[in-house]
Amino acid sequence: MTDWLSALSNAAARAEPAVLVTVASVQGSSPREPGAKMLVTAKAQCDTIGGGHLEMRAAEIAHEMLAMPSGSLATMRRIERFALGPSLGQCCGGVVLLAFERIEAKDRDYAVCLNEYRAKRQDYWRLVALDASLPAQVIDKEEQPLCGALPPPEHIDLARECHIVVDSEGCRWLVDPLRAYRAHLVLFGAGHVGAAIVRALAELPCHVTWVDEREDMFPESLPANVKTEVTDTPEAVVDEVSPGASYLVMTHSHALDQRLAEAILRRTDAGWFGLIGSESKRVQFERRLRARGMPEERLKHMICPVGVPGISGKTPAVIAASVCAQLLQVWEKSEQTEQVLTPNE
């Protein structure tokens, strides 16, 4: 499945009209959260707002909008309310507001802007007027325009999830945060397993810095959430990464693995650290690192072997699935902890 933003960029580059469907708000239980999206073109559908009858009906509305001549507000913006139980026969039972936004060739700069700020790994917000034929806007955390020159509506709350506000003129606006992924994996090694892990992480909520000394090992096409770094001194990358990042070491050289392990463990602000290998490799590395003065407490932070316990397959795809599941467990636990601590900060 292609993510909605990549699909939007592709559609804009082809001058192909598309409708972006966003879960604007939710009351009660629903299949997806506010901010969930799917992109609908005449021939394709990317991402999901939860499936079932809700998604089918949303796709029908999007196709109706695409079939009509552009220009009028009804063909460019819509907001629809769906009661999941009575009207759609879904067991969730909640109420969902869906915002529909038609995007055309003239909006190419808008699509480019959205992708640029995703690539910069920064938080930004979409502001879409639902009751007026105004260009969609993109603003940063200071409410400065990144795309579109109009002032934002009054009293928007950038700390909230996706929601709708009403301005002084009675116009409803979709305020849609597009937050950078907090989970960051620094992956050392572009071999078969590293490549399989990158593929497995392509659509997961994270961004990846993929490091290797050999430029020709990287594929020509990369997922949108991946950046490569070619360097003769991979250890230096460890020092440049922001605190809290996760590290996964699986290079072609045990000597390099050991140097990277030492550099990572000496960073007391590093996040999760996984090292591919067996129990015997761990014992060997621990002995060498102790000899180099590594405290015993830091050695406990080295996860080796990696992967979810009970999965013993050795093919790259199996290892990747196991390791990515382990990373998701780590990242979700970290996110839950952050949510608990945030109100007291």
Confidence at residue 203, expressed as pLDDT on a 0 to 100 scale: 87
Looking at the predicted structure, is the pLDDT value of residue 220 above 50? yes
Full-model pTM? 0.80
Comparing 46-50, 130-134, 214-218, the range with the smallest average pLDDT is 130-134
**CA distances (Å), 71 to each of 74, 131, 264, in order?**
8, 14, 56
Comparing 147-156, 252-261, 265-274, 281-290, the range with the smallest average pLDDT is 147-156
**CA distances (Å), 326 to each of 59, 180, 225, in order?**
35, 21, 19
Q: What does the pLDDT look like over 24-54, one tens digit per residue?
A: 999 988 889 999 999 999 999 999 998 888 9
Secondary structure (DSSP) of 314-335? -SHHHHHHHHHHHHHHHHHHHH
Q: Which residues pair with 126 in a beta bridge?
A: 138, 176
Structural domains of the chain in order of their starting residue, each with its CATH number: 4-178 (no CATH), 184-338 (3.40.50.720)
Confidence at residue 345, expressed as pLDDT on a 0 to 100 scale: 42
**Angle, CA of 26, 29 and 35, to the nearest 5°:** 35
Query: DSSP code of 139?
Result: E
Phi, psi of 101 (to 5 degrees): -130, 110
Rounded average pLDDT over 147-155: 72
**CA distances (Å), 263 to each of 279, 294, 296, in order?**
21, 10, 15
Query: DSSP code of 181?
Result: P
85 sits in the region (left: phi over 0; alpha: psi -120 to 50; else beta) called: alpha
Rounded average pLDDT over 287-295: 97
Confidence at residue 1, expressed as pLDDT on a 0 to 100 scale: 39
- For the beta sheet containing 207-212, the strands, ordered from the edge strand earlier in sequence to the opposite edge, are 226-230, 207-212, 184-188, 246-249, 273-275, 302-303
Confidence at residue 70, expressed as pLDDT on a 0 to 100 scale: 78
238 by Cβ neighbours in 10 Å (0-12 / 13-18 / 19+) ranks as: buried
From 165, 106, 167, 92, select the one nearest 135 (Cα to Cα): 106
Confidence at residue 2, expressed as pLDDT on a 0 to 100 scale: 54
Rounded average pLDDT over 103-113: 86
Mean pLDDT, the chain, integer? 90
3-state helix, strand, coil in the chain (%, to 5): 35, 25, 40
In this structure, are residues 229 and 210 in contact, taking their beta carbons and an 8 Å threshold?
Answer: yes
Angle in degrees, 0-180, between the axes of helices 316-341 and 192-201, rounded to the nearest 10: 50
**CA distances (Å), 165 to each of 27, 162, 271, in order?**
16, 10, 38
Looking at the predicted structure, is the pLDDT value of residue 344 above 50? no
Confidence of residue 299 (pLDDT cuts 50, 70, 90): very high
Rounded average pLDDT over 42-67: 93
Percent of the chain with pLDDT over 70: 93
